Structure 1
Amino acid sequence: MNEAVKLTRELVRIDSVGGNEAAVATPLARRLEAAGFEVREHEYAPGRAGLVARWGSGLPVTLTGHLDTVPLGAQSWTREPHSAEVDGDRLYGRGTSDMKAGLAALVVAAEEHGRGQGRRVALELVLTVGEESGCEGAIDMAARGLVGPSRGLLVAEPTANRALLGHKGALWLKVTAHGRTAHGSMPHLGDNAIYKLARAISAAERFDHGVPKHPRLGAPTTNVGTAHGGINVNSVPDLAQATLDLRTVAGQDHAVLRDRLRKALGGETTLEVLTDLPALWTEQEDPFVQTLLSAGAHAPGDGPAASYFTDASILASACGGVPAVICGPGEPDQAHVTDEYCEIPRIEEAVDIYRAALARL
């Protein structure tokens, strides 16, 4: 069995749902240290550790993936989610596609690169915690200065080894309306916070981002995800809140967007930022993209952007505004699903792509 497939199975057997990333980081740190990498641990919280591993000198190429996985969900699995069961060409288990196969392929390709002959590009592996909950680990790593300048960023999220060129940004906001409580039979004595929130929600439905449609990422969007308020049926509510999910395109300034939205919603509510991840886009003509394509990555085709956001929202900037490509062996439609699997030949192919691309750089 291919070394990357073996490593994927080892990682899938470690339960890192919603945390416990240190249990995944520790064996990877040992492997990378044995391969000659200088490894630094990033302790985000107890039991939650990522790592930054550096090999070689000079400006590196940055390789990144996240160590956490999402919960299993309420639906029963037909395969034990942490057994890493192999059935034909498929490897089953939580995190097989999103994204322990990508982690394994990066690590094995990096090890092989370090053992190669001749002049070789320097590498920096950035393995993060808390990506699934809003890129928390990448944000903290960047704030601590643990990620440095590089030549390019490769993200091993699930793309079936297509070279995707970016994704929309995410600006998640909490909208809060305050009022004054009173008895429901005497609403004139109160100040109904739900009415205020309802007016803000209506304004959000009509909100115009004020930017043109991106030629490849499409138009920015706004969605009201949750709304709640009040304590019981016969009281005037003095607090009501909603959450907004704005997906943005390359070139949008989130600070300007927040100001625009605040004016559109009116003065009856306040806004609190929950998640702020800028959009990502690299042109296909960029030499970093072309290197990956020449190394065997599949062309982006008509859908060149990922439907999800990634740590590259934070890390591309932390690396100095470098070109970033998302390319990993996982199946995109298997992320977060019950009975998640990854095609084993994709894992083997990913190692070949990464190894060839690093040799060309």
Structure 2
Amino acid sequence: MGDMMMDVVELTRRLVSFDTVNPPGREAEAMRACAKLLSGAGFTCRDIPMGDGRSNLLATRGLTDGKAALGFTGHLDTVPLGARDWRFPPHAATLSDGCIHGRGTTDMKGGVAAFICASLSAPPPPGGIALLITAGEETGSDGARVMVDAGGLPTIGALIVAEPTLNRAVPGHKGALWLRLSAQGVTAHGSMPERGVNAVMCMAHALAALDGIDLGATHPVMGAPTLNLGTIHGGLNTNSVPDFCEATLDLRSVPGVSHADLRAMISARLGPDIEIEPLIDLPAVWTDPAHPWMAAITAHSAAIAGAETVPSAASYFTDASIFTPALGEVATMILGPGDPGLAHQTDEYVSVDRLNEAQSIYTAAISDWNGSHL
């Protein structure tokens, strides 16, 4: 990866050329390419494995005792390609009309390339820089959990998450609590239903109790918590009493409502016959936009990218759900060059102008950093 890889366009294209569709992920080779580039520039790189062909990367430079590093995070896995044909081959990283086309350009290899390039071009600030590059984000922040559980994260004073925002400064996102519900019954012939216990009817009665449930306080920017019944499956055939039924719920939470409380609320409504198992449990993330560091990042975003400064929340969740609490609820900003409307889409792309803007915003953030714990 020669010196040209310090160019944000070339590095984005290089990262997109790695097929890291998750599942299965296979992020390790892309992580090694990043580590080679960073270690050659004086970063200390630590590989944190998570199974066959998969790993996470912690890269640090300029860490200082008694001071906190500025943190950047992004993931290198991507979602599957989908069934539709792509205009350009999804891993060719084709440069056309001022954009790079391919899977992961927007979500979020362009963001990772931008913060790596900013970190390489700017001298380390007081407290240093820490890059937390993850695998397995798309399946529920698996890599971020592995990194936290592995221990040894440096003291980080604030965190920039390079997920797609069109370089707008976004101070948080809703949490996600996905629950699998199951009901057990007793099978019998459909002509003699009295001899069985109908698990589907049991589930239907329980789910009806969720209608109109109050999930708690609204947030001034994020609005209200939400609940969606996503799937329901039960029964084997028409002429048998079903002995099992399963449903999934997608709850999106806001700050001030704990997931433990949400789960207890749902459980109380459903009653004792429904078992509940969490599938994804990622809390909401929010930092007051008036916080001085947040305000400074917002000002850079407006000056460099012309982005709006009215606070908003991302509709997706990020690895900040894992990292922000683990780092001590540090100030966290979501800001990246990708277009959130293109994430997970066929013919995903990222604008070269947005990549350059993101690198400039991140460079300004590094230049501002004074090593304090925010």
TM range (shorter): over 0.9
Question: 126, 129, 134: which is aligned to 2:132?
Answer: 126
Q: Which amino acid aligns with 2:332?
A: A
**Corresponding residue for residue 138 of structure 1:** 144
The one of 202, 208, 226 aligned to 1:202: 208
Give the Å deviation of 1:146: 4.1
Is 1:76 matched up with 2:91? Answer: no
TM-score, structure 1 normalization: 0.96
Partner in structure 1 of residue 263 of structure 2: 258
Aligned 8 A contact 1:147 1:315 in 2: no
Q: Distance in 1 between matches of 2:277 and 2:41?
A: 45
Q: Which residue of 1 aligns with 2:13?
A: 9
Aligned to 2:73: 64
SS at match of 1:194: helix
In the superposition, relative to structure 1, how do residues 146 and 74 fare at CA in structure 2: closer, same or farther (>3 Å)? farther
- The one-letter amino acid of 2:350's match is C
Alpha-carbon distance in 2 for matches of 1:187, 1:217: 47
Q: What is the aligned length?
A: 357
SS of residue matched to 1:345: helix
- Using the alignment, how far apart are the partners of 1:151 and 1:300 within structure 2? 25
Residue 363 of structure 2 corresponds to: 355
Separation (CA, whole Å) in 1 of partners of 2:179 and 2:343: 25
8 A contact 1:50–1:67 mirrored in 2: no
Deviations 1:5-39 (A, max 9, x none): 11000111111001011121010011111111111
Query: 8 Å contact 2:289–2:311 — kept in the other structure?
Result: no
Q: Is the 8 A contact 1:16 1:23 kept in 2?
A: no
1:61-94, Cα deviation, whole Å (9 max, x unpaired): 1100001000010111111111111112111000
SS of equivalent residue, structure 2 residue 157: coil
Letter in 1 for 2:312: P
Query: Which stretch shows the higher mean deviation, 291-300 or 261-270?
Result: 291-300
Q: Residue 284 of structure 1: CA displacement? A: 1.1
Give secondary structure in 2 for the equivalent of 1:242. Answer: strand
CA separation of 1:348/1:226 partners in 2, compared to 1, >3 Å: closer, same or farther?
A: same
- Using the TM superposition, give the Cα deviation of residue 147 of structure 1 relative to its aligned residue in structure 2, in angstroms: 2.9
Q: CA deviation at 1:111?
A: 1.0
CA deviation string 1:93-130 (max 9, x = no partner): 0011000100100111111124x6xx544111000111
Q: Assess, with a 3 A threshold, how the Cα gap between structure 1 residues 146 and 199 changes in structure 2: closer, same or farther.
A: farther
1:236 counterpart SS class: coil
Letter in 2 for 1:257: L
Aligned to 2:241: 236
Assess, with a 3 A threshold, how the Cα gap between structure 1 residues 201 and 148 changes in structure 2: closer, same or farther.
farther
User: Any idea what SS the aligned residue of 2:164 has?
Assistant: coil
Work out the percentage of aligned pairs sharing the same amino acid.
46
Q: TM-score, normalised by structure 2?
A: 0.92
SS at match of 1:197: helix
Q: What value does the CA root-mean-square deviation take over the aligned residues?
A: 1.5
**Contact persistence 1:148–1:318 (CA under 8 A):** no
Unmatched 5+ stretches in structure 2: 370-374
Are the counterparts in 2 of residues 129 and 136 from structure 1 also a CA contact under 8 Å?
A: yes
Partner of 2:40: 34
Task: Read off the aligned partner of 2:53 and give its amino acid letter.
Answer: G
2:51: which partner in 1? 45
Residues 321-358 of structure 1: per-residue CA shift (max 9 Å, x gap): 10100000111111011111111100011111101111
Q: Map Cα deviations across residues 162-214 of structure 1 (whole Å, 9 max, x no partner).
A: 000100000000000001011111100000000111112222233221x2211
- Measure, in 2, the Cα distance between the counterparts of 1:179 and 1:345: 58
Distance 1:102 1:257 in 2: 33
Q: Distance in 1 between matches of 2:301 and 2:213?
A: 42
Which of 329, 336, 339 pairs up with 1:321? 329
Displacement of 1:295: 2.9
Q: In structure 2, the residue corresponding to 1:204 is in which secondary structure? A: coil
